[in-house]
Structure 1
Amino acid sequence: MAVLNVSVVAADHEVWSGEANMVVAKTVEGEIGILPGHEPLLAILASGEVRVTLNGGESIKAQADDGFLSVENNTVTVVARQAELV
Structure 2
Amino acid sequence: MASASLTVSLVSADQQVWSGEASMVVARTVEGEIGILVGHEPLLAILSSGEVRITLVDGSKVVAEADDGFLSVDNDVISVVARRAALV
How far off its partner does 1:2 sit?
1.3
> What residue number does 2:9 align with?
7
> 2:53 is aligned with what amino acid?
R
Q: Give per-residue Cα distances to partners, 1:3-34, cap 9 Å, x unaligned.
A: 00000000110000000000000000000000
Q: Distance in 2 between matches of 1:53 and 1:72?
A: 18
**TM-score of the superposition, structure 1-length normalised?**
0.98
In structure 1, runs of 5+ residues without a counterpart are none
> What residue number does 2:67 align with?
65
Which residue, 41, 44, 50 being the options, matches 1:42? 44
Q: Distance in 2 between matches of 1:62 and 1:8?
A: 9
Q: Secondary structure of the equivalent of 1:56?
A: coil
> 1:37 is aligned with what amino acid?
G
> 1:61 is aligned with what amino acid?
V
Q: Distance in 2 between matches of 1:4 and 1:32?
A: 15
Equivalent pairs counted in the alignment come to 86
Q: Distance in 2 between matches of 1:48 and 1:72?
A: 22
**Divergent runs of 4+, >4 A:** none
**Aligned-pair Cα RMSD in Å:** 0.7
Tell me the percent identity. Answer: 70
How far off its partner does 1:69 sit?
0.2
Which residue, 17, 20, 43 being the options, matches 2:19? 17
